[in-house]
Amino acid sequence: MSRRLVAASAVFALAMLGFAGAASPAAALAGHTIVVTTTIQAAVDAAQPGDTILVPPGTYRESVLVNKSHLTITGSPAAILDAEGLPTGIRVGTGRISRDGPVPTCPPLAVEGFTLKGLTIKHGGFSGVFLSGVDGYHLTGTRYVDNPVYGPFPVCSRNGLIDFNHVVGGGSAVGPSLDTGIYVGDDDQVTIRSNSVTNYVIGVVVENTIHATVQDNLLKGNTAGIYVAVLPDHPRPFTDDVVVERNQVVRNNLPNPVPADGGDEIGGFLSGWGSSTWAAITSLFAATGCSATIRWA
């Protein structure tokens, strides 16, 4: 089918599925809408920068790789991406942190402009969504369910917004997810707001990141609420200009499913630890020589 016909047929599909106007104005003006008919990956492969990929209701058993700029993937919560047996539901960017030199380095910013709006993403073995080397991303309105380690996980990226997501842990051998609902690492300019996270060891983690805001989130039923830290062996050796404000951090009394003596840092978090992570962070400063500027409100 020609791109012209695909775009025309998508108008009817959008109206029938209740997604009229779902694409951002910039994306709608810049490209076409491609309706998924087989796999999400096939639609991504066929897309051009500026296109919007509409995922109809159904279950898609796959892992999707996005290595093109200015794409939007959108769908209702009834569009379920099930990554059972695969590391991620959606991966954006192919770069990896290099550890070949004297210090770790981030990959180049190779993808510009990615939006994920809606869908349900479940069973990603490592994370629901993984971004690396992305400049400009928006992760919004997605349900992350039973991803056993992480939900959204942007690293070495910048200019990001993560908002209005529902991140529900589970799927591990012991029940709850084994790490963090929303993790941001080695990022620059990211806002995490108006999300809900439950059934993880930690609700939100910001590590080795600058110019970050964590606000208006509901973090409930985890082991701990919010953790802002600077750790060694990262491409960015500091955390700076992080604002944490107006979050609801309530009843985070879930027993930590990770053994404290297992050698994993995450096992050291105690049940009921809300956002009082300052002592842990300052002890890391002394041990590593790293620095951070953080404002809690």
Residues of the chain with pLDDT under 70: 1-30, 274-297
The reported pLDDT for the residue numbered 175 is 87
Residue 77: inside a domain: no
**Strand, helix or coil for residue 123:** coil
Residue 195: inside a domain: yes
Residue 136: inside a domain: yes
CA 145 to CA 168: how far, in whole Å? 5
Per the structure block, which two tokens stand in for 104? Answer: 């770790």
Amino acid code (one letter) for 127: S
The reported pLDDT for the residue numbered 293 is 55
Residue 38: inside a domain: no
The reported pLDDT for the residue numbered 261 is 86
The reported pLDDT for the residue numbered 294 is 57
The reported pLDDT for the residue numbered 44 is 98
Total of domains in the chain = 1
The reported pLDDT for the residue numbered 100 is 77
| Closest residue by Cα to residue 232 from 157, 283, 274, 190 | 283
| Closest residue by Cα to residue 176 from 166, 168, 164, 185 | 168
Print the domain residue range for 214. Answer: 83-296
The reported pLDDT for the residue numbered 152 is 98
Per the structure block, which two tokens stand in for 198? Answer: 């439950």
Exposure class string for 18-31: b at 16+ Cβ within 10 A, else e: ebeebbeeebeebb
Residue 11: inside a domain: no
| pLDDT one-digit tens code per residue, 240-271 | 999 999 999 999 999 999 988 888 888 888 88
Residue 72: inside a domain: no
Residue 13: inside a domain: no
Residue 216: inside a domain: yes
| Closest residue by Cα to residue 149 from 230, 191, 88, 59 | 88
| Closest residue by Cα to residue 69 from 115, 103, 108 | 115
